[in-house]
Amino acid sequence: MTLTNKVILVTGAASGMGKACVMKLAQMGGKVYACDRNTMGLNDFQVFENVITKQLDVSSSDQCQAVVDQVIRDQGHIDGLVNFAGVIKRTGVLDCTDEEFDYVMKINTYGCFYMLRAAAKVMVKAGKGSIVNVSSIWSDIGASGVIAYCASKGAVSQLTRSAALDLAGTGVRVNEIRPGETNTAMLASERKGRFTQEDIENKLKEIAASIPEKRLASPSEMADAAIFLLSDQSSYMQGSHITVDGGYSAQ
């Protein structure tokens, strides 16, 4: 999977899966734009000459358009986009507030749409490009206590399918990965304050035990799936999803 000199834009790049993806792309020789609203988390990329860091709040349509415009000014084209940016609120239907629901939807769904639209427009003009959205196993099978997250990721899956059909035949592909439980800060987030550190660690062990592979995924494994979809080795994939969940959804 050669991505040498390919121009790839990655959102949610400051941590977790996004960070792992940027690291791998940089090592493969790609020209990577690492974008996140957390600029402190982008500092680790300073050792890579081929990584350009950008502050970006994907919930802002203007900022999403601006970062794509900047890449075009710098490089003249975009070969790939990976929408890793995402957040979670651990509230169910009875206690999820309007503000929590809006917050999750704005970043997870609207942010994905804003970036997808902006990148697709320039890719169509070039006649090539690969867009990788990141939904979740919860986009399809659902989970309790995270209603906004499930709704947002279900919407991402539909964005992927619809955009893929809109862009079929243009040379631009839109696909997605559906991560299962992955060992990132998000998995432990929104638990502190309500639980002790010991409780959180026990919960993560419980989650791992519920997976057929009996472990959490690493961010690197999700990055590998995204990189495959960016590459020409997935050239006949359009509107598809790759589920990376250690067998959880096969149960």
How confident is the model over 133-154, as a mean pLDDT? 95
What is the pLDDT at residue 28?
95
7-182+218-243 folds as: Rossmann fold (3.40.50)
- Write out the E strands in 69-179: 80-83, 129-134, 172-179
How confident is the model over 6-21, as a mean pLDDT? 97
Q: Is the dihedral of CA 245, 3, 110, 58 positive or negative?
A: positive
Q: Is 33 a catalytic residue?
A: no
What percentage of the chain has pLDDT greater than the value 70? 97
What is the pLDDT at residue 190?
62
- Is pLDDT of 192 > 70? no
Distance, in Å, from the CA atom of 148 to the CA atom of 20, rounded to the nearest integer, reads 25
- Is pLDDT of 122 > 60? yes
Which whole-number Å values give the CA distances from 218 to 22, 49, 120, in the listed order?
15, 25, 29
- Residue from 33, 149, 236, 248 carrying the catalytic annotation: 149
Q: CB within 8 A of 69, min separation 6: which ones?
A: 118
- Is pLDDT of 78 > 70? yes
pTM above 0.85, yes or no: yes
**pLDDT band at residue 193 using 50, 70 and 90 as cut-offs:** low
**pLDDT band at residue 200 using 50, 70 and 90 as cut-offs:** confident
